[in-house]
């Protein structure tokens, strides 16, 4: 077996969409795979199947076994395994269930939908911690999710992927990042009349930032932290690192740092830059 994808995450976060893409990419896909059967069936499946994708989540009902089964897979198939975890904000998940009129798999008479989501999050949190790729689908439609996942899978195939997300703290912290760096302690170009309507990608904003005391020093610190983290992640079998860089509105300072850091790492790694809150 060349590639094993374990797709998991919150109900309503888009696993069906992701599974459809994996099928299109040539993966042999099994949805709602019973955790108790993994040790028996996976060695058999791996003989004739090169690329296999399994969906394991709370629908199996074997909630007490989920964590141990996934950790066992991580140990046995570390060289070919990638764990992809899909999540979304609670209010988004509630709205999606309301629109589809489907029941949450943990919804019981004693549970409200909100409590069922909280219960699911509790059971899946240990798996989230060891996942290789975490995708927050809160602001993604199915097409955008497919495109994002496709880029990630292409990156995993060849070399380490570094994803850098700029954002504004006033709109909330991204859920799918490993590190968050706050750059709000630098002067805000928003309050400079000629820069207010520009972004951190514009030449004038870049010149403003590079002329600000401490920016280049902080950039060097970030480079060292990220480079150190990537090496550690690679040693653990992870193939992607997600960095969030935030300022107040997500338009100037965070965009500048994301762009400049992306340039510095683009020769060594697959770099994907996202500017979440640039209007």
pLDDT digits (tens, 9 = 90+) for 19-69: 998 988 889 999 988 887 887 888 888 788 888 999 988 887 777 778 888
Model confidence at 254: pLDDT above 70 = yes
Lowest-pLDDT choice from 61-75, 144-158, 209-223: 144-158
Q: 143 in the Ramachandran plot: left (φ > 0), alpha (ψ -120 to 50) or beta?
A: alpha
Query: Does 200 lie in the same domain as 143?
Result: no
Model confidence at 138: pLDDT above 70 = yes
The domain boundary residue, chosen from 140, 158, 176 = 158
Query: Does 219 lie in the same domain as 152?
Result: no
Query: Does 89 lie in the same domain as 9?
Result: yes
The domain boundary residue, chosen from 104, 132, 158 = 158
Model confidence at 242: pLDDT above 60 = yes
Neighbours of 175 (CB within 10 A): 15
Query: Does 118 lie in the same domain as 42?
Result: yes
Determine the structural domain holding residue 136 and report its residue range: 3-158
Model confidence at 75: pLDDT above 90 = no
The beta-strand segments (E) located in the chain are 3-9, 28-30, 51-55, 81-87, 133-136, 161-168, 179-182, 240-247, 270-275
Query: Does 100 lie in the same domain as 230?
Result: no
Q: pTM of this prediction? A: 0.64
- The per-residue pLDDT for range 149-204, each reduced to its tens digit, is 888 887 655 467 899 999 999 999 998 899 999 999 999 999 999 999 999 999 99
CA separation for the pair 177, 188 (Å, rounded):
24
- As a whole-number percent, the residues of the chain with pLDDT over 70 amount to 97
Query: Does 89 lie in the same domain as 217?
Result: no
The domain boundary residue, chosen from 101, 125, 158 = 158
Model confidence at 110: pLDDT above 90 = no
Query: Does 149 lie in the same domain as 222?
Result: no
- The per-residue pLDDT for range 6-19, each reduced to its tens digit, is 999 999 999 999 99
CA separation for the pair 133, 240 (Å, rounded):
6
By DSSP bridging, strand 240-247 and strand 179-182 are: parallel
Q: Please check whether residue 231 is in contact with residue 248, taking contact to mean a CB–CB distance below 8 angstroms.
A: no
Query: Does 143 lie in the same domain as 203?
Result: no
Query: Does 118 lie in the same domain as 209?
Result: no
Q: What value does the mean pLDDT of the chain take?
A: 89
Query: Does 236 lie in the same domain as 207?
Result: yes
CA separation for the pair 83, 60 (Å, rounded):
18
pLDDT of residue 197: 94
Query: Does 227 lie in the same domain as 153?
Result: no
Assigned token pair, 104: 């949450």
Query: Does 167 lie in the same domain as 154?
Result: no
Find the CATH number of the domain harbouring 63.
Answer: 3.40.50.300
């Amino acid at each position: 077996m060349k590639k094993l994808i374990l797709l998991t995450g919150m109900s309503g976060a888009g696993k069906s969409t992701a599974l459809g893409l994996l099928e299109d990419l040539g993966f042999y896909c099994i949805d709602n795979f019973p955790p108790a059967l993994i040790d028996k069936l996976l060695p058999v499946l791996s003989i004739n199947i090169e690329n296999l994708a399994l969906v394991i989540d709370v629908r199996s009902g074997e909630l007490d076994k989920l964590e141990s089964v996934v950790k066992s897979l991580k140990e046995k198939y570390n060289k070919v395994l990638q764990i992809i975890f899909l999540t979304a904000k609670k209010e988004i998940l509630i709205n999606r269930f309301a629109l589809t009129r489907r029941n949450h798999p943990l919804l019981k008479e004693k549970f409200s939908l909100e409590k069922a989501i909280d219960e699911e999050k509790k059971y899946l949190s240990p798996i989230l911690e060891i996942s290789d790729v975490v995708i927050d689908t809160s602001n993604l439609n199915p097409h955008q999710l497919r495109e994002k996942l496709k880029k990630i899978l292409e990156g995993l195939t060849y070399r380490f992927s570094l994803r850098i997300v700029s954002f504004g703290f006033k709109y909330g912290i991204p859920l799918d990042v490993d590190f968050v760096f706050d750059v709000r302690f630098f002067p805000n170009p928003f309050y400079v009349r000629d820069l207010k309507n520009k972004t951190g990608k514009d030449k004038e904003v870049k010149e403003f930032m590079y002329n600000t005391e401490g920016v280049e020093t902080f950039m060097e610190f970030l480079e060292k932290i990220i480079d150190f983290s990537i090496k550690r992640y690679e040693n653990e079998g992870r193939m992607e690192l997600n960095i969030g860089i935030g300022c107040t509105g997500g338009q100037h300072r965070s965009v500048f740092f994301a762009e400049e850091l992306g340039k510095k790492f683009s020769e060594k790694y697959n770099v994907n830059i996202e500017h979440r809150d640039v209007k």
